[in-house]
Amino acid sequence: MPDSSDAPRPDEDDALLVQCGDELVRSIDAALDRWVAGVCGEAIAQVASAPLTADAMQRLVVAYRAVAVPDLTDLLRSDVDAQRDTPLSVLRRATAVFRDEFARAGVPDAEPGTAASDDRWGLGPVTWADLGPDVVDAGLRWGAAKAFVHRRRHR
């Protein structure tokens, strides 16, 4: 007789996926100050004669976090079969909040065809590693949990 502990536990598996998603959001949120300062500082330094002030940089971080974190949370808490987006594309799309500050600093849009369609400057993270090792670990755990739940449902 098969061991009942090997039987699928959909509720527990889905709860683990949500837990991994929440962990991913927390790790991304913790990396945002450094990441936003790095990519925005570099983009502006290439065209502006002076770097952004600390206040301007903080406004960029706050604006980005206000869009990215809720959108990520919504995506990662949605049912796995309803997810039509990826966390990295959510993060790339959220770079739109940089528009006004970048325009003031004279940062041009990326050349056509060089940036992701949802990231006009090509700044958004391409991999979890762009955000840091803690995000890599959380991203891998979430990805594995998502793959497991998806496979279990669609055998």
pLDDT at residue 52 greater than cutoff 90: no
Give the pair of three-digit tokens for residue 137. Answer: 């670990």
Q: Is residue 108 within 8 Å of residue 123, measured between CB atoms?
A: no
Number of helices followed by number of strands (H, E) in the chain: 5, 0
Length in residues, the chain:
155
Domain layout of the chain by residue ranges: 10-153
pLDDT, position 61? 95
pLDDT-derived band of residue 7, with 50, 70 and 90 as boundaries?
Answer: low
pLDDT for res 116: 57
Tokens of 111: 């050349």
At residue 101, what is the residue type? E
- Residues above pLDDT 90, as percent of the chain: 55
Residue 16 and residue 126: Cα distance in Å, rounded?
A: 25
Signed CA dihedral, 19, 33, 128, 73: sign only: positive
pTM of this structure: 0.85
CB 63 within 8 A of CB 97: yes
Question: Residue holding tokens 């962990």?
Answer: 23
d(CA 155, CA 153): 6
C-beta contacts of 81-85 below 8 A and 24+ residues apart: 81/150, 81/153, 83/146
Give the mean pLDDT of 25-31: 98
Q: pLDDT for 59-112, tens place per residue? A: 999 999 999 999 999 999 999 999 999 999 999 999 999 988 888 888 887 665
Q: Where are the beta strands (DSSP E) in the chain?
A: none
Under the banding of pLDDT at 50, 70 and 90, the label for residue 1 is: very low
Q: Per-residue pLDDT tens for 105-151?
A: 888 876 655 555 567 788 889 999 999 999 999 999 999 999 999 99
